[in-house]
Structure 1
């Protein structure tokens, strides 16, 4: 599946807002969202849906996962959708032959959120640690 299939054509006004690094605002939003994302990750694992939750961070409309945090409702920059390794394989984002390689780099979901970040230039996986309470 190509990035264009995940993210339909976007309006021109969105492109101007993308010139500064989107990762700065993503880190801020992930910090705000961490507790909610961790709750969803635990729920996905406890209910036996998947041992490998993946969260999709985007600023547009994407066709993978289920929306859990909507940027327009929360007045933030990023929307988060919950998905799983199985859905990523089913949609062809992760090649079935690369599953073992992916799992080798997949970090403990109890400690890190696996985030598939989609921007107009492309997409990539990042692992963001859940903040430990001090």
Structure 2
């Protein structure tokens, strides 16, 4: 099995469809790398990955909006197609097995992330909330909280 992992931003809002009675969430993820060419000029290279997340749990769909940063993991597939000018195009697609929200570029929105996974349609990780850790205790006395907490 070949596994592909990608971190990037969604190029547009996701689309949820039903194909042969199964739900699929389609979206694309872009990752841009910055580098310098031989002359020392700053260049950008963007790679787009088309993603298909086959799942019965479509609760993540409202959060998959343009600009949202995600981590996706799954199995890759290369697809070829004919372009309008007669040449052959190639696209990298990913059958998503797990996805995690990393953040958002939206103004006024929160940047909380959460993870969803659908490994062989048997497991599911609910969104993680930024839980406050239990109060730390000092020394062997478990009744007294520490005074030097950073918050």
> How does the TM-score come out when normalised to structure 1?
0.30
Question: Larger % of strand: which?
Answer: 2
Whichever structure has more helix as a proportion of its residues is: 1
Higher-Rg member (1/2): 2
When normalised by structure 2's length, the TM-score is 0.28
Q: Per chain length, whose mean CA-contact separation is higher, i.e. which structure has more relative contact order (CA < 8 Å, sep 6+)?
A: 1
